[in-house]
Amino acid sequence: MPSLTLLQKLRVDYRPKLPKVLQQLDALVATNAPDQVHSKVASEILSYFPILFNQPILSFSSQTAIKHQPKRVGVVLSGGQAAGGHNVIIGLHDALKKLHPKSCLFGFKNGPNGIVNNQLIELTSELLNAYRNQGGFDLIGSGRTKIESAEQFQAALNTVQALDLDGLVIIGGDDSNTNAALLAEYFLQKGCKTKVVGVPKTIDGDLKNEQIEISFGFDTASKIYSEIIGNLMRDTLSAQKSYYFIKLMGRAASHLNLECALQTHPNLALISEELAADQMTLQDVIEKIADLICKRALLGKEYGVILIPEGVIEFIPEFKQLIEALNELLAPGQLHAAEMDALTTLSEKVKYIHKKLEKSSADCFERIPAEIQTQLLLDRDPHGNVQVAKIETERLLIEMVKQELKKRKSSGKYVGKFSAQPHYCGYEGRSGMPSNFDAQYCYALGYVAALLIESGATGYMSCVQHLTKPVEEWTIVGIPLVSMMAMEQRRGKSKPVIRKALVDLKGSLFKAFKEQRDAWALEDAYRFTGPMQFFGPPELTEAITFTLAYEHA
């Protein structure tokens, strides 16, 4: 660990506020929550979770004179980074030590692989201190390994038994928490004492439901992106000569895009879920953008800002089909893959594959710019799949809008000079220092995870509620992981998975956006949120997202 910067040091000294309920930690015991009921779980799920099926939501009540025993707990970070991960671990550690000073916390290294391979370090106060309220996952690393095979499950069991673990905390997104539930069930079936508890992590904001108000990392990412978007708005408002096409991380769902739109008031923000609901084609989307540009040109405005969610192309049916067709054609070991490899120039490759596509996909392929054709053909993962996250949608849209405007210009429907800049709000948003909200939320999530293990609960997700209220008034519960599941098709098989939350087109948040966006299109109502502040008045440093405020008003 190199020397800390001044801000890092000041953040190390920052103490997250604790919800009032967590202030008498050692008196709390989990009990059935009489006032909270989760929705009914599909009966097909029973066969996967014979023991965990239909667990109740847990709340916590105060009891006197509980005798705590030392606990041995493991923790793992799974999947992409989100601001606050270190604070979950530190909250977990601090709570375990408060419950019993002889308790131990171990960190599995580099994701679930660390469980399978039994690679870990003990997490002591001394080690953890420098990571308090810091970004990243570098304390123990993370990884994307899924524990899927029978061998992997057995190896995980061997590890937790060898370490004599009372609990295992899995910090991850929907997939990782589905995995946590499978592990919990497996351990129960094998008579293993290790309790498995999940923590909801993802900047995408798609791991939420009736009980989980928001996943951690979303707040920080939306603040980092909003600053950058605001700066680019100020830039183009000053220079008045180009359009910024800004793509935002966020995988499938458009939550980050919607939040940042409400924060910054762009001229246009695409919401994938809405495009899908309206059955928009790629050409429709291009025309929508071109229409905006033409209208603004009539007002003398040849600049603007357009927000694009990372996952948008998967919501446009023809593009999705094209990707699927390419994945099939170019699967490794297939005839076409070999033929393609034999061709030397890119244009030969493009011609070859174009002929193999069905008409609608061929048309779509033909219309996209050469740069993106290249990405589709060359940037493929080891399974031969197009790497959707790597497709530069912002550049794709710019090129296609350029073509559309050229067409309109030649028919006299557009008089202007279109210039555009792509920008990607990406990895810098997931690894920044956590906002005060995320720092406090994560610290509390760690506490609740410790309490769940202490109470002997397994197959639960750590959950903090009433997040729109002051921290002191936050409440805590344990949510059965199975209660969040539905059966979904994954690689041709029906499987129980934790549902991803997409943008609710009928919700108050989307409604608020819809009511304002027409004004934003032509006026320049840009909002500049500036860099996230850790010091200053509480209205500034404790501000919550619009997403949370509207969804839990």
Per DSSP, the three-state class of 200 is strand
Q: Choose among 218, 229, 219: nearest CA to 528.
A: 229
E-assigned strand segments in 92-155: 104-108, 120-122
CA 315 vs. chain centroid, Å, equals 17
Q: Which of 158, 240, 387, 403 binds a copy of itself (CB under 8 A)?
A: 240
Judged by CB under 8 A, which of 10, 27, 66, 335 binds a copy of itself?
10
Instruction: Please pick, from the candidates 134, 145, 272, 361, the single residue that binds a copy of itself as defined by CB under 8 A.
Output: 134
Distance in Å, CB of 16 to a copy of itself, minimum: 17
CB under 8 A: which stretch of 5-13, 63-71, 360-368, 458-466 binds a copy of itself? Answer: 5-13
- For the CB of residue 411, give the shortest distance to a copy of itself in the complex, in Å: 22
By the rule CB under 8 A, 54 interacts with a copy of itself: no
Number of residues that bind a copy of itself (CB under 8 A): 65
Residue 55 CA to residue 39 CA, distance in Å, equals: 12
Determine which residue in the list 347, 387, 494, 508 makes contact with a copy of itself, applying CB under 8 A.
Answer: 347
- Interface with a copy of itself (CB under 8 A), residue from 142, 145, 202, 436: 142
Q: Look at strands 485-490 and 120-122 and give their pairing.
A: unpaired
Tell me which of 26, 46, 141, 522 binds a copy of itself, using CB under 8 A.
141
Query: CB of 317 within 8 A of CB of 281?
Result: yes
By the 8 A CB rule, do 81 and 431 touch? yes
Q: Is 530 in the site for a copy of itself (CB under 8 A)?
A: yes
Helix (H) or strand (E) holding 246: strand 243-248
524 binds a copy of itself (CB under 8 A): yes
Q: String of b and e for 13-34 (b: at least 16 CB within 10 Å)?
A: eeebbbbebbeebbebebeebe
DSSP 20-71: GGGGGGGGEEEEE-TT--PPPPPGGGGGT-TTTTTPPPEEEEE-SS------
Q: Are 260 and 248 in contact (CB under 8 A)?
A: yes
Binding to a copy of itself (CB under 8 A) within 417-476 occurs at 421, 423, 426-433
Q: Give yes or no for a contact between 77 and 83, defined as CB atoms under 8 angstroms apart.
A: no
486 bridge partner residues? 497
The number of helix segments (H) and strand segments (E) in the chain equals 20, 15
What is the spatial distance between Cα 454 and Cα 431, in angstroms, rounded to a whole number?
31
SS3 state of residue 142: coil
Structural contact between residues 147 and 116, judged by C-beta atoms closer than 8 angstroms: yes
Least gap, CB of 48 to a copy of itself (angstroms): 31
Measured from the CB atom, the residue of 138 and 488 that comes closer to a copy of itself is: 138
Judged by CB, which is closer to a copy of itself: 55, or 220? 220
- Minimum distance from CB of 20 to a copy of itself (Å)? 26
| Min separation Cβ 480 and a copy of itself, Å | 30
Closer residue to a copy of itself (CB): 6 or 553: 6
Cα dist from 126 to 75, 103, 448, whole Å = 17, 15, 22
Closest to a copy of itself by CB, 190 or 241: 241
Q: Which is nearer to a copy of itself, 11 or 500 (CB)?
A: 11
Residues that are catalytic: 204
Q: Judged by CB under 8 A, which of 356, 528, 544, 549 binds a copy of itself?
A: 528
Is the Cβ–Cβ distance between 60 and 29 less than 8 Å? yes
Shortest CB 37 distance to a copy of itself, Å: 38
Binder of a copy of itself out of 251, 265, 301, 380 (CB under 8 A): 265
- Taking CB under 8 A as the rule, does residue 237 contact a copy of itself? yes
Binding segment toward a copy of itself, per CB under 8 A, in 152-160, 165-173, 399-407, 539-547 = 539-547
**Could you say which of 102, 234, 407, 469 contacts a copy of itself (CB under 8 A)?**
234
CB–CB of 476/22 below 8 Å?
yes
Closer to a copy of itself by Cβ: residue 3 or 64: 3
Closer residue to a copy of itself (CB): 262 or 451: 262
Cβ nearer to a copy of itself, comparing 134 with 483: 134
- φ/ψ (deg, to 5) at 380: -115, 150
**Given candidates 50, 456, 470, 531, which one binds a copy of itself under the rule CB under 8 A?**
531
Please, which of residues 360-399 interact with a copy of itself by CB under 8 A? 370-371, 374
Interface with a copy of itself (CB under 8 A): 2-3, 5-8, 10-11, 80-81, 110, 134-138, 141-142, 224, 227-228, 231-232, 234-235, 237-240, 244, 265, 345-347, 370-371, 374, 421, 423, 426-433, 523-537, 539-540, 543
